[in-house]
Structure 1
Amino acid sequence: MAKSPGLPYHGCLSPEGILREIQINLLECKVCFETFSTEQRERRPQNLSCGHVLCLECITALSHPLLRKLECPFCRQLCTVDSTSHCQVLCDLQQLLVSRSPTSSVPPRWAKGSSVTTTSLHLCAAFGGWGTLINPTGIAPLGSSGTIVVVHGGEKRVVVFSLQGGKLHSFGPEGKASGEMCYPVDVAVTPSGYIVVTDAGDKTVKVFTSRGNCVLTIKDSFQLPWGVDTDSCGHILVSDVQAGTLSQVKVDYCHGVILEHQTVVSDLQSPKAVACCHVTGNSAVMEHPSDITPSAERHTFRRLRVFTKDFQLLYQTDTFSLTLQSTVRLNMSAVVFSRDGDLMVTDSDQGMVFSLGKLQHGPVLTPLVVDHLIRPVGVIVLNNLLITLDGGDHTVKIYTPKSDSGATMK
C-alpha cells in the first residue's frame, strides 16, 4: 500500500469531503504538488522502495544521474531508481473517481447553492516537506524583504526561510533552558524585527533577536499561552487557552524588560489564533468553545471576535451565523488581516482560505484559496503574496493573484 507523508484526521467527513481528501492526499505528488496522471509519463506515480510515492519526474530530478540513487524526501531512506515500480493502485483509484464523476474529477469544496463569490489565487511555489519541517504550527513575516519565520517540532524549532525556500538559519533546540523550546505553538515578529514565540510546553512567551539570541522569557504569567501577534507599536498580544484571556505585554526590547503586562479581554472561551491590524489597530481572536464542551455540538464550533484598538468588541461572528448567511460551514482556524484591513481565515477541514471583508456591515465570504491545501494551520500576507502553512504535508505554500482574476492582497 502506498504511504502518505502524513494524512490528517478530520473526524466525520461527508462523502464529498472524503473524495476531496483522497484527491489531495493520495492523488498528488507531495514534492511538486502536481496531480498524478497515467497519460503523462512524467506524472506517473512511482513506488519508492521505502513505500512512499512520487511522480516519475520528481524521482528523476531528485536522483543522482550516475549513481541513480535518491534520498526519500519524507523518511530520508536511501532508495535506488532501479528499484522503483509503477503504483497501479493509485492509477486505478484515479480512474474510479473519474468514472464516478465524469464532469469533474475534483469534488466541490462548498455546498451547492452557496452565495459566496470566488476570487481564486494561484499556487506559485511550495517548499518544506517532512524532515525540513515537522508538524509546523506557526508562521510570521520577518520584515517586508521576503523572509518568513516558522515554528515546528524539529531539532531546532524556529526556522527562518527565504521566499525561495532557502533555509537561512534556525535556533531554539528542544529544552527548558534559556533560548530553548519545549512545544512552540505560534510566532510573531515585531516591527523592529524581534521574534516572539509562545511555548505551551513550559507555559512561557519567549522573545529573540532575528538571529536567535534570547532577549526575554516571560514566565509565571500564563496558564497555557497559545496565539501571538504584535501591533504596530511592538506590543505583544497573547491568547491564553486555559485562562480564557487576551493579554497585552509591553516590552523594552533593548534591555529585555517587561514594562507592562495586563489582561485586556477576560471573557473568552478557549482562545487560540490572534491577529493585529497595523492599519486600524483592531485585533481579532479565534475562540474554540467546542474544545471545552465537545459534546455540545456534533460539528466543530468556532467564534471570531474583532476588537477595537482599546479592546472594545467591534464585531463577532461564528460558525453557525456564517452557515445561515452562506450555507458554507467553516472550521475556522488561523486568522490574519490583509494590508487594507480585510479579515482572512483558513478552513482546516476543507483546506481553503476565505476573506470575510471588513465585517462592519457583515461578512462578505469570498474563497481565496481553493486548491492544494490539506490542513492550513497558519496564514500571512507579505507584499502581494498570500502565504499558508500547511500542517497536512508540512509545507509552506505561496499563492499569487491570477492575472485574469483581479484578485489583490492589499
Structure 2
Amino acid sequence: MAAAAVAAAAEELGLLECKVCFEPYGPGGQRRPRNLPCGHVLCLGCAAALGGAGRRGLECPFCRRAWGSADTSDCLPLLQLLEAAGGQPAEAGAGAGAAGPAGGAALRLALGGWGALVNPTGVAACPRSGRLAVAHDGRKRIKVFGASGACVQQFGERGEAGNDLKYPLDVAVTLDGHVVVTDGGDRSVKAFDFDGRGTLALREGFSLPWGLDVTRENEVLVTDSEAGALYRLTADFAKGKLQKAQVIQSKLTSPRGIAVSPASGVIAVIEHLKAKGPNNSSTRMKIFSADMKLIGQMDSFGLSLIFPSKIYATAVAFDKEDHIIVTDVYNQAVLCLGKPEEFPVYKPIISHGLSYPVGLTYMANNSLVVLDGGDHSVKIYGST
C-alpha cells in the first residue's frame, strides 16, 4: 500500500512522464526511462532521437550538459515506481547493483530518492541542529531533513510570495541557522530561516551566482560562474540586512563548487574549464589561504598524471582534519586530495555505490554527506 501511494503521488506530480514528449513512461520499449549522465531523465525514444543522425555534440535539454549517445542508463527508481503503479516488473540494467562503499567509509543512512528529491543540486548541514538542507527541483525547492532522516520542513515554492525560488543551484547553512541559496533563475542569493521565511534577497550585482559556503566568521562566500568572481557577503540574516558585499577574487574561470576549512580558513574553489570538441570539459582545483593567496592549483590533466584516472570534480569540502575532499563524477567516487600543504595526494574514500555525486558536506559529528544526482538521494557515511 505504501509503495502504491508513493507511485500515485509521483503520477499526480507528473514524475511518471517524459518531460520532452510528455508521454507516460513504461517498463520497456521506447517509453523506458533513461538517466542522462547529469541525472536528468528522458524516455528511451527521446534519448535516441537526441542522439540520432550521428550527432556528436549532444546536450541535455534541461541543463545543457554534454553527453554521449552511449552514456545513458536505466532510471531504476522510476522503474520501481512504475512497477508499484501496476506496470510489469522492470529488469535492471547492467551494472545496476552497487557494492558497498570502500576506502574507509560505510553507508549509514540514505534519504530521498526520485519523487522525494528531484534532480538535487546542493546539500548543507546545520552545525547546531544537525539538520540537512537540500536544494532540488521539486515543487518546494528546499527540503530539510532531521537527524533521524525524516523530512521536517519544505519551502521555497516557485512564485510563492516572500520565499520564491526559481532554480536553486547550491545551498549553505550559516552558523546562526539560516539557509542561504543561490538562485540561477533570477541570478540572486536568498536567505531563509528554517521555518521557510525569507529574510534577505540580493538580486543585484551577480551574473550567475553558483557555489556557497560559510566562513568561521559567519560570512558567506559565493562563486559567480559567469563573472568569474568570488564574493564575500557579510549580513545580519535575522534582521535581513546586508552589511557588506565585496569581490575577493576575480579572473577565475567558471567557478562553481567552493568550501572553507573550519580548521584553517583555507578556501578551495572548483573551476570548470571548456576545451574544443565534445565532452572535453575538465575541472581545476584552486586552493587559497584565508587571506586569498594562491597556495596550490591542479587541473584534471595534471591530476591524471598523478592519479590512476581522469578526475572531474563537482563538489568540495574539508573534513575536521583539514583534508580536501571532492566528488568525482567520472569515477563515481569521493576522493581525499590531502591537506592544503600536501595537495594533491590520492586516497579514495568511497569508490562504490554512487551514480552521479554532485554535492558534499560534513555534519558536526564528522559524518560525510554525499548528494547523488544519479538516484536523487542523500547518502550519509560514517567511518568504518
- Which TM-score applies when normalising by structure 2? 0.78
Does the Cα contact within 8 Å between 2:249 and 2:292 map onto a contact in 1? yes
Q: Which residue of 1 aligns with 2:53?
A: none
After superposition, residues 12-31 of structure 1 pair within 5 angstroms as 30=77
1:91-115 residue CA offsets vs partner (Å, 9 max, x unmatched): xx76xx8xxxxxxx989x9xxxxxx
Q: Does 1:129 align with 2:113?
A: yes
Cα deviation for residue 204 of structure 1 reads 0.6
Alpha-carbon separation, structure 1, partners of 2:152 and 2:34:
26
* Distance in 2, Cα, partners of 1:223 & 1:205: 11
Q: Which residue of 2 aligns with 1:79?
A: 85
Instruction: Pick closer, same or farther for the CA change 1:4–1:133 going to 2, 3 Å.
Output: farther
Q: Alpha-carbon deviation of 1:177?
A: 4.5
Q: 2:239 aligns with which of 247, 255, 275?
A: 255
- 1:358–1:130: structure 2 CA closer, same or farther, 3 Å change rule? same
Could you say what secondary structure the match of 1:309 adopts? coil
The equivalent residue for 2:328 is 347
1:105-254 to structure 2, matched below 5 A, reads 119-175=103-159, 177-254=161-238
- Counting only pairs closer than 5 Å after superposition, residues 28-47 of structure 1 correspond to structure 2 as 30=77
Determine which of 350, 372, 376 is the counterpart of 1:390.
Answer: 372
1:292-338 C-alpha deviation (Å, 9 max, x unpaired) = xx416853311111111111112111111111112321011101111
| 2:98–2:352 contact (8 Å) kept in structure 1 | no
Out of 291, 296, 302, the residue aligned to residue 283 of structure 2 is 302
Letter paired with 1:249: L
Which whole-Å CA distance do the structure 2 matches of 1:132 and 1:337 have between them? Answer: 28
Report deviation, 1:163.
Answer: 3.9
Provide structure 1 residue ranges, at least 5 long, that are not aligned to the other structure.
31-51, 55-71, 98-104, 110-117, 403-410
Q: Decide whether the 8 Å contact of 1:178 with 1:217 is kept in 2.
A: no
**Contact kept in structure 2, 1:343 and 1:358, CA below 8 Å:** yes
Q: d(CA) in 2 for partners of 1:305 and 1:246?
A: 12
Corresponding residue number in structure 1 for 2:36: 8
Distance 1:278 1:384, change over 3 A: closer
Secondary structure class of the residue paired with 1:288: strand
Q: What's the TM-score once normalised by structure 1's chain length?
A: 0.73
What RMSD, in angstroms, separates the aligned Cα atoms of the two structures?
2.9
Structure 2 letter corresponding to 1:386: L
* 8 Å contact from structure 1 (residues 350, 374) kept in 2: no
**Counterpart residue type for residue 303 of structure 2:** L
The separation in 1 between residues aligned to 2:268 and 2:379, in whole angstroms, is 23
Match for residue 354 of structure 2 among 359, 362, 373:
373
Question: How far 1:400 moved relative to its partner?
Answer: 1.9
Contact persistence 2:105–2:383 (CA under 8 A) = yes
CA distance 1:311–1:326, change in 2 (3 Å):
same
**How far apart are 1:6 and its partner, in Å?**
5.0
Q: What are the Cα deviations for residues 168-196 of structure 1, in whole angstroms up to 9, with x where unaligned? A: 01111102753110111000011111111
Q: Is the 8 A contact 1:5 1:130 kept in 2?
A: no
1-side partners of 2:142 and 2:116: how far apart?
12
**1-structure distance, mates of 2:109, 2:32:** 21
For structure 2, list consecutive stretches of 5 or more residues without a partner in the other structure: 1-26, 39-65
| Equivalent residue for 1:321, pick from 302, 326, 329 | 302
1:340-384 deviation digits (Å, cap 9, x = unpaired) = 211000011221100001132331111111111111110111113
Task: Measure, in 2, the Cα distance between the counterparts of 1:362 and 1:84.
Answer: 51
Change beyond 3 A, Cα 1:6–1:149: farther
Distance 1:5 1:324, change over 3 A: same
Larger Rg: 1
Taking a change above 3 Å as real, the CA distance of residues 395 and 259 of structure 1, as seen in their structure-2 partners, is same
SS of residue paired to 1:324: helix
Distance 1:219 1:257 in 2: 14
**Distance in 1 between the 2:34 and 2:106 partners?**
24
User: Residue 369 and residue 284 in structure 1: after superposition, are their counterparts in 2 closer, same or farther (change >3 A)?
Assistant: same
